[in-house]
């Protein structure tokens, strides 16, 4: 642990037992918990709180002003980051906006690859992965265990459900349901994220069979959406994951990505 003599640290910052590399800049209002490592030329500003063991790579910028022209620059907004996250080179995460929630929240054990971006007022769960240059717009919600492929983008106000997989280069203008694979421009759904479900320990035969049947009812059949939701829930009311999927669809405000057709 140590702070390089060329680092610029405001006297208003609160630092635990941390490591700060050359030419890093840490502003007033920043709080770094024990075990945080800040790389060379990284910039952390605003009311930004970083949890223990998080790694902040070279040239990362955290807690910058939201890219929202309506934002009141004098507003007291913040960025909150959990424990053991990794932010690789040139990653950015902005604090909340005065016209939104006022806070951007990132959970624990998330991995952000180079050039990825988290915009203002977003909520990112735990154990997610953002591949290189993945970007989410303002007010986006990303569920636990979701994976965003390289160069993908998620439109403002959209949601990416738990254990969903967004393919590289996908452009998501609507919600991506939990446990799903989405890809393309504009993104379409191409079935369940089987590998992600297995890795999360949800690969027992009963759960998988119920999810596959619910998926066919919701996205392959010709039933109207409301009727399909009711039928999927009636058929598998005992399966937590099916209930989660149905509730996600019912609470969508931007609409849900449509099912695609495999070539």
Has 59 been annotated as catalytic?
no
Has 150 been annotated as catalytic?
no
Residue 209: HSE in the Cβ half-sphere, 13 Å Cα cutoff: 5
Sign, CA dihedral 109-113-114-120, equals negative
Helix (H) or strand (E) holding 211: helix 205-215
Marked catalytic residue, from 46, 125, 138, 143:
138
Marked catalytic residue, from 68, 108, 121, 144:
121
What would the two tokens of residue 154 be?
Answer: 């998620």
Can you name the residues that pair with 242 across neighbouring β-strands?
A: none
What is the distance of C-alpha 121 from the center of its chain?
Answer: 11
- In the block, which residue shows the tokens 């969903």? 164
Has 39 been annotated as catalytic?
no
Q: What angle do CA 33, 140, 220 make, to 5 degrees?
A: 130
Marked catalytic residue, from 71, 94, 120, 236:
120
Residue 95 is given by DSSP the state P
Q: What angle do CA 239, 106, 13 make, to 5 degrees?
A: 155
What would the two tokens of residue 141 be?
Answer: 């919600």
Which sequence positions are flagged as catalytic? Answer: 120-121, 138
């Amino acid at each position: 642990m140590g702070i390089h003599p060329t680092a610029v640290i405001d006297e208003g910052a609160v630092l635990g037992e941390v490591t700060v590399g050359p030419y890093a800049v840490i502003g007033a209002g920043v709080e770094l918990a024990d075990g945080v490592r800040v790389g060379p030329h990284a910039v952390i500003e605003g009311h930004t709180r970083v949890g223990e063991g998080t790694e902040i790579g070279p040239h990362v910028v955290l807690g910058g002003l939201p890219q929202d022209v309506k934002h009141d620059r004098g507003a007291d907004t913040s960025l909150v980051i959990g424990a053991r996250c990794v932010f690789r080179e040139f990653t950015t995460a902005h604090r909340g906006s005065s016209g939104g929630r006022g806070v951007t929240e990132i959970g624990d054990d998330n991995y952000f690859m180079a050039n990825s971006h988290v915009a203002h007022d977003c909520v990112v769960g735990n154990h997610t992965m953002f591949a290189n240059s993945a970007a989410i717009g303002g007010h986006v919600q990303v569920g636990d265990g979701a994976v965003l492929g390289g160069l993908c983008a998620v439109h403002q106000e959209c949601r990416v459900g738990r254990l969903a997989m967004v393919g590289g280069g996908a452009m998501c203008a609507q919600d991506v349901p939990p446990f799903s694979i989405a890809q393309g421009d504009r993104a379409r759904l191409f079935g369940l994220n089987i590998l992600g479900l297995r890795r999360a320990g949800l690969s027992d035969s009963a759960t998988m069979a119920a999810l596959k049947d619910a998926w066919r009812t919701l996205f392959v059949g010709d039933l109207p959406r409301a009727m399909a939701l009711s039928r999927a829930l009636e058929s598998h009311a005992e399966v937590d994951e099916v209930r989660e999927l149905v509730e996600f669809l019912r609470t969508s405000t931007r609409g849900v990505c449509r099912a695609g057709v495999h070539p």
